[in-house]
Structure 1
Amino acid sequence: MNIPGPEPRPDGGVGAIARAGGLHAYQLWLHAEYGPVARFQLPGADTAVSIADPVLLEAAVGLDERPERLFSFLDPLFEAGNLQVLPADEHEPWRRLLLGVLAGRPAHERHFARFTALATELADRWAALPAGRPVELQRELTALSLRMICAFALGGEVEDPDGVVEAFETVLAGQLERLYRPPGAVAPAEGAERTARALAVLRRTVDRAVAAHRGGGPGGDRSDLIGALVEAGEHPARIRDTVLTVLLAAHHTTGVAVSWTLHLLAGHPGAAGRVTAELDRVLGDRDVPDHADLHRLPYLEMVLKESLRRYPPGPYGARRTAAPLTVGPYRLPAGAVVFLPIRAVHLNPAYWPEPERFRPERFGPEESAGRHRLAWIPFGMGPRACEGARLATLEALLLLAVLLKRLRFRPVPGHPVVPVERFVLWAAEDIRMLVGPRAERGPDRS
């Protein structure tokens, strides 16, 4: 049976994706137009099939290869080979090593005090802002989450966190431009030079951390991640590539997820009131939670999950078939790109009634019990799912708890919040909020 989809275009699909405003928006249109399985054109793919139904996605959950051409735009980030497309036999031990560090409770507890201090510093600064001065949530929270992951992955602070964030943005902007460049178009030379300078900044940052780790001595920074990579016998280029990958993925995911959550809560005072009431009940007079407290905040976790459903930081993913694959009534050839339209899956009305509505209760025990396991996949699925999912969730819950225990957030009147694709699901003009102490809310405090 032929897979439905739009007619091929000479530009390889670039124009349709650009007109939609990025792949995340194009996928929503594609599945609304052609159903749960749709064929489409994608730069770097000869055959691309998008699957927005969790039941049908089961057929692809075990795929352990990513399409190399589709991820080639990230090649300049790496020296020892693109880590996003490692073959399965290399990827599995590398993934195991990362999971041992990023998903391990001992490492989380070891760094929790530092994470809490960084979150508290931000809350202090925002609490002291003059009334009426807006905060750009995504810019500030991305910078903070970079400092948190640097403390975890590098073993300490970086000299210029804002400069590192800017360097990542420069590299990603240049690489995304490559991905969506029309066939035959030539990139401007100044863009390549700017990207090269930004890459040099990032590599120097990681090199300093690796050198400090190897130096050991008094005052030397230590990193669980670097230590695990050194112990595993990884060579210097692979260590640097791995650390850069973790910094890139982690600082975007956490900062963006927390900013979208605060945006949604600001528009839903009932849910915001339930969160603050839960925080007051669990924490009492304390301003910050301890590690165990995070497991006693079920409604806050439901809010975060619903935010990740509405605005998944990584709105899509991709796999490659190593052999022919049957998906429902369709037969995909070997070498086909299976596209995971995460945002379209999360807005599928067959699994999420009123999908555009913000309703954290979807993630309560009763409603969650009968839901398909692949209906909510903000961190991907299968053997290529995000290794840092548990760490990102811990950081996000901690940040939300610290900020919402002390502060109130109100949207800047008239400021548009429009999701766009910038490697992650960003807001086009950031998310601007007016922030003040919660005490100002008076009777609403409870």
Structure 2
Amino acid sequence: MRIPGPEHHEDGGLSAVTAAGGLHEYQLRLHDMYGPVVRFQLPGADEAVSVADPVLLEATAHIDKRPEKLFSFLDPLCEVGNLQVLPADEHTPWRRLLLSVLAGRPAHERHFARFTELARDLADRWAERSDGESVELQQELTALSLRMICGFALGGAEVDTDADRAVDAFEEVLTEHLGRLYQVPRDDPRSAERTDKALAYLRATVDRVVAAHGVGGQNDRSDLIGALVEAGTSPARIRDTVMVTLLAAHHTTGVAVSWTLHLLGRHPGVADRVTAELDHVLGERAAPDYGDLRRLTYLDMVLKESMRLFPPGPYGARETTEDLALGPYDVPAGTTLFYPFWAVHLNPEYWPDPKRFDPERFTPEKVAERPRLAYVPFGFGPRGCEGAALATVEAQLVLAVLLKRLRFLPAPGHEVTPVERFVLWARDGIRMRVRPRHL
């Protein structure tokens, strides 16, 4: 049976994506019109098959290959091969090493005090704002996340790193190379020059912190560089790994916290329940211990519901290595499979009234009723996000520190519009008024 989908366009589908307001919105429309499996033109990959049903996703969960063209925009960050498209025989040991650090409780606990200090510094700065003054969440929270992951990945090396400048540099590089992938014209003739300078700055920054770490000496496997050095990884591959880790980690965590605060500002009853839980678990303490996070069950439900509605990474992709059956459809080897995580999370068959913010969807009883892959904020299978556990710890901690002390309210007249920019970003920022909880 032929997979349904829209007509082909001479421009490779760019006009259809643009008219929908972005690829994430286009996917929602396609699956609403054609069902859970859709054939469509994907800019940068010719034709792809999009899958938005969690049961059908299970049939693809074993695939360990990504389409190289779709991830080519990350090539500039890697000097010895794009880490996002490593062949399976290289990817598996590399992934195992990353998981041994990023998913390990000892490493989380080792860095937790520093993470807490950084989160409290941000809360201090925001608490000093005049009553009702607004802050732009995305930029400041992304910079905070970058500071956290720098300390984690680089073994706590104290280096004079301007997090805001690094965030801007990552944005410059990604905007330029994503634009090339989607064939978006750049009007500024100096954009390529700025991108080269931004990339040079990022590489120099990573080199500086790697040198400060003392590669070749005693290394701690609870930090990323130490584990890479102990495994005999080449200096160039260490730099590539650090670059890609910094990129992925600082974007996803900062954006996830920003969207969560945005939703809490629009649902004061949910915000009140979160703060009541924080007061109960923490008492007079301003921040949780690592062990407290397991007791903040409602905060965890709120974070999960936020990432359902606004998944930090709105989509993923694989390439079939053999013929595959997806329900009634046959998919040949070499096909690009597209995973629209936003559409999966808004599938009304598994999420009634899918656009409604309802943390109660994540009670243990409700979770048990749904297929495993109905909720995939960090992807799935052998190419799922290695930093998912770390990102969750960071996000829970930052939310706990901020919400214990501050209340976040929508900024009057400010419209929040999601767009994709490697992550699900707010086009004009997320501005909110910040007020102390206890005056």
Q: State if a TM-score over 0.5 links the two structures.
A: yes
TM (norm. structure 2) is 0.97
Per the alignment, residue 444 of structure 1 pairs with none
Cα deviation 1:31-51 (Å, max 9, x = unaligned): 011111000001232430000
Q: List alignment gaps of at least 5 residues for structure 1.
A: 441-446
For the Cα contact (< 8 Å) 1:213–1:222, is it kept in 2?
A: no
Q: Which residue identity lines up with residue 34 of structure 1 in the other structure?
A: Y
Per the alignment, residue 411 of structure 1 pairs with 410
Cα deviation 1:2-47 (Å, max 9, x = unaligned): 1000111111112211222221111111101111100000123243
Relative to structure 1, is the Cα distance of residues 287 and 314 closer, same or farther in structure 2, using a 3 angstrom cutoff? same
Per the alignment, residue 49 of structure 2 pairs with 49
Identity of aligned residues (%): 70
Per the alignment, residue 126 of structure 2 pairs with 126
Per the alignment, residue 209 of structure 1 pairs with 209
Q: Which residue identity lines up with residue 416 of structure 1 in the other structure?
A: E
**Aligned-partner Cα distance in 2 for 1:112–1:66:** 33
Q: Which residue identity lines up with residue 10 of structure 1 in the other structure?
A: E
Match of 1:164 among 140, 143, 166: 166
Q: Which residue identity lines up with residue 118 of structure 1 in the other structure?
A: L
**Aligned-partner Cα distance in 1 for 2:41–2:299:** 39
Task: Please show how residues 163-312 of structure 1 align to structure 2 within 5 Å.
Answer: 163-181=165-183, 190-214=190-214, 224-312=223-311
Task: Please show how residues 23-62 of structure 1 align to structure 2 within 5 Å.
Answer: 23-62=23-62
Relative to structure 1, is the Cα distance of residues 212 and 237 closer, same or farther in structure 2, using a 3 angstrom cutoff? same
TM (norm. structure 1) is 0.95
Q: Does 1:421 align with 2:390?
A: no
**Aligned-partner Cα distance in 1 for 2:220–2:324:** 48
**Aligned-partner Cα distance in 2 for 1:221–1:87:** 28
Secondary structure of 2:385's counterpart equals coil
Q: List alignment gaps of at least 5 residues for structure 2.
A: none
**Aligned-partner Cα distance in 2 for 1:145–1:223:** 18
Cα deviation 1:187-245 (Å, max 9, x = unaligned): 96522211111011111111011111226889x99971111111111111111010000
**Aligned-partner Cα distance in 2 for 1:82–1:371:** 35
**Aligned-partner Cα distance in 1 for 2:131–2:270:** 24
Q: Which residue identity lines up with residue 257 of structure 1 in the other structure?
A: A
Secondary structure of 2:374's counterpart equals coil
Per the alignment, residue 144 of structure 1 pairs with 144
Cα deviation 1:47-84 (Å, max 9, x = unaligned): 30000010111111111000011111221121011111
Relative to structure 1, is the Cα distance of residues 215 and 424 closer, same or farther in structure 2, using a 3 angstrom cutoff? closer
Secondary structure of 1:47's counterpart equals strand
Per the alignment, residue 443 of structure 1 pairs with none
Cα deviation 1:262-284 (Å, max 9, x = unaligned): 01011111111110110000000
For the Cα contact (< 8 Å) 1:209–1:221, is it kept in 2?
A: no
Per the alignment, residue 7 of structure 2 pairs with 7
Q: Root-mean-square deviation (CA), in Å?
A: 1.7
Relative to structure 1, is the Cα distance of residues 406 and 96 closer, same or farther in structure 2, using a 3 angstrom cutoff? same
**Aligned-partner Cα distance in 2 for 1:215–1:323:** 42
Secondary structure of 2:59's counterpart equals helix
**Aligned-partner Cα distance in 2 for 1:216–1:86:** 26
Cα deviation 1:316-373 (Å, max 9, x = unaligned): 0000001111100001111101111100000000000000000000000121111100
Q: Does 1:431 align with 2:430?
A: yes
**Aligned-partner Cα distance in 2 for 1:236–1:196:** 22
Q: Does 1:348 align with 2:378?
A: no
Length, aligned pairs only: 437
**Aligned-partner Cα distance in 2 for 1:240–1:392:** 21
**Aligned-partner Cα distance in 1 for 2:402–2:188:** 42
**Aligned-partner Cα distance in 2 for 1:281–1:40:** 50
**Aligned-partner Cα distance in 1 for 2:216–2:267:** 50
Q: Which residue identity lines up with residue 104 of structure 1 in the other structure?
A: G
Per the alignment, residue 397 of structure 1 pairs with 396
